[in-house]
Amino acid sequence: MTDPAKTATLSFDGKSFELPMYSPTAGPDVVDIRKLYADAGVFTYDPGFTSTASCDSTITYIDGGEGVLLHRGYPIDQLASKSHYLEVCYLLLYGELPTAAQLEDFETRVTRHTMIHEQMHNFFRGFRRDAHPMATMVGVVGAMSAFYHDSTDINDPWQREVASIRLIAKMPTIAAMAYKYSIGQPFNYPRNDLDYAANFLHMCFAVPAEKYEVNPILSRAMDRIFILHADHEQNASTSTVRLASSSGANPFACIAAGIACLWGPAHGGANQACLEMLKEIGSVDRIPEYIERAKDKNDPFRLMGFGHRVYKNFDPRAKVMKQSADEVLDLLGVDNNPLLQVAKELERIALQDEYFADKKLFPNVDFYSGIILEAMGFPTSMFTPIFALSRTVGWISQWKEMIGDPQMKIGRPRQLYLGETQRDYVNVEDR
């Protein structure tokens, strides 16, 4: 980090403390409070980390007010329209767009690692058939540390690199196997003659009894979904990965922790929750009832797939995803699907509604990705696993950055304690 650009003054109880401030390359200045407790004896209080930078990073930049998302400086819409997922993975991991030779080498390394240890097939079979694929993924990805001992030493840069490639390469295989297992179909081995997205569609939808041709428009749409979910700076699951790894845990355990966090409906689980909500609404004429419920302070119901912690203008990923959704729906000719009609009408009504405009609530990336995935034939339970496989590269890039950071410390937040002060134990017969 550079020298502090300026200082902020904190005054209380007649004392003042100078706090260094740093200017980022983009975004608001930060006040450095690392020595605050040592110097002033106070903590800061920021549940939900709405004003706290937990690290410095050079990977992703978001300007929520302007609807900007940059990976290593490149705007997401340019990456989504001109690049492809594995190139974006390279960019996130290594900081620069690859040369043709670097890209070929990277793609070869990823495709050589797409199979999983054969014994892991038995591991899948230990799960109930009706297990949610996210439950299976948390377990199987965590179990990778039991299968790939030679890439768990986080202090060895070579092992870190191998673990990164393994996770990116195997995640589609694991997600597809979790799906196949849940519907009682045989697993498909990966096909390395297909690109990353087409191979995933093949592993999910091919059956041994029939020839399966991947539709290039669908594999392009799949690839875009992967790109649009690849990284999103210090969101809940990425912060979970960083926190887990700050204790020195191995990468497979840390990514399993990230998957667990992503599963929640306020985060990656929103795409499933959104489709379930559309199914619950069921028909266009019931939309006003649900809009009213979303506005009612006494009703916990929220319009899933609407709103974002950081984007308060529009979600730039949703813009690209909407285009993709239109292309896919057009190709598949599923415009008369009642669920998709509800989605379109809900989007139209919510965008015109004052409540949503005032609170800056608009459809987020999960609203449109759910629609595309539904049209492609994925069950709702696969939406979050697809988010998880796409986000793996972001988690790994942030994990690698953190391990390489000399300032890395174990994450250990403080608290505002509001419980009882010390009191004496009372024997049970006296209570």
386 binds ligand CMC (CB under 6 A): no
Q: Which residue is nearest to ligand CMC (CB)?
A: 307
357 near ligand CMC, judged by CB under 6 A: no
CA distance 375 to 335: 9
Nearer to ligand CMC, 98 or 305 (CB): 305
Question: 306 or 378: whose CB is closer to ligand CMC?
Answer: 306
Decide: is 137 part of the binding site for ligand CMC (CB under 6 A).
Answer: no
CB of 318 to ligand CMC, least distance (A): 9
- Quick check: 277 binds ligand CMC (CB under 6 A)? no
Q: Half-sphere exposure of residue 420, counting CA atoms within 13 Å on the CB side?
A: 4
DSSP class of residue 191? -
Q: How far is the CB of 237 from ligand CMC (least distance, A)?
A: 8
Smallest distance, Å, CB 48 to ligand CMC? Answer: 7
b vs e for 305-324, b when ≥16 Cβ sit within 10 Å of the residue's Cβ? bbbbebbbebbbbbbbbbbb
233-271: burial string, b at 16+ Cβ within 10 Å, e else: bbbbbbbbbbbbbbeebbbbbbbbbbbbbbbebebbbbb
Select the span of 17-25, 158-166, 297-305, 369-377 touching ligand CMC (CB under 6 A): 297-305
Q: How far is the CB of 325 from ligand CMC (least distance, A)?
A: 15
Active-site annotation holder among 202, 308, 335, 424: 308
Note whether 155 and 245 are within 8 A (CB). Answer: no
Residue appearing with tokens 């599963």:
263
Select from 87-95, 150-158, 247-255, 296-304 the region that touches ligand CMC (CB under 6 A). 296-304
Q: Check: CB of residue 298 under 8 Å from CB of residue 304.
A: no
Considering only CA atoms, give the Rg of the chain: 23
- Of 24-43, binders to ligand CMC (CB under 6 A) are none
For this structure, is 267 an active site residue?
no
Q: Per rule CB under 6 A, is residue 181 in the interface with ligand CMC?
A: no
- Pick one of 289, 359, 377, 414: the residue that binds ligand CMC (CB under 6 A): 359
Does 364 help bind ligand CMC (rule: CB under 6 A)? yes
Nearest distance from residue 285's CB to ligand CMC, in Å?
A: 20
Site for ligand CMC contains 390 (CB under 6 A): no
Cβ nearer to ligand CMC, comparing 132 with 308:
308
| Integer Cα distance of 362 and 305 in angstroms | 8
Q: Which entry of 366, 405, 424, 430 is annotated as an active-site residue?
A: 366
Dihedral over alpha carbons 276, 282, 283, 288 (to 10 degrees): -60
190 or 305: CB nearest ligand CMC: 305
Q: How far is the CB of 307 from ligand CMC (least distance, A)?
A: 2
Nearest-approach distance from CB 68 to ligand CMC, in angstroms: 15
For ligand CMC, which is the closer residue by CB, 181 or 362?
A: 362
Q: Which of residues 235-274 bind ligand CMC (CB under 6 A)?
A: 235, 266-268, 270
Q: Which of 109, 117, 220, 302 binds ligand CMC (CB under 6 A)?
A: 302
DSSP annotation of 429: G
Neighbours of 222 (CB within 10 A): 30
CA distance 150 to 159: 7
Alpha helices in 95-215 (DSSP H): 100-111, 120-125, 133-147, 157-182, 196-205
- State in angstroms the smallest separation of the CB of 31 from ligand CMC: 22
Using the contact rule CB under 6 A, the part of the chain among 54-62, 65-73, 184-192, 362-370 near ligand CMC is 362-370
C-alpha to C-alpha distance for 187 and 283, rounded to whole angstroms = 36
- End-to-end CA distance of the chain: give it in Å, rounded: 57
- If one asks whether residue 366 binds ligand CMC (CB under 6 A), the answer comes out as yes
Question: Residue 103 burial (CB < 10 Å; 0-12/13-18/19+)?
Answer: middle
Answer yes or no whether residue 373 interacts with ligand CMC by CB under 6 A: no
- Alpha-carbon distance 172 to 271, whole Å? 18
Count of residues touching ligand CMC (by CB under 6 A): 20
SS3 335: coil
Q: Verify binding: residue 171, ligand CMC, rule CB under 6 A.
A: no
308 included as an active-site residue? yes
Chain residues binding ligand CMC by CB under 6 A are 232, 235, 266-268, 270, 294, 302-309, 359, 361, 364-366
Provide the annotated active-site residues: 308, 366
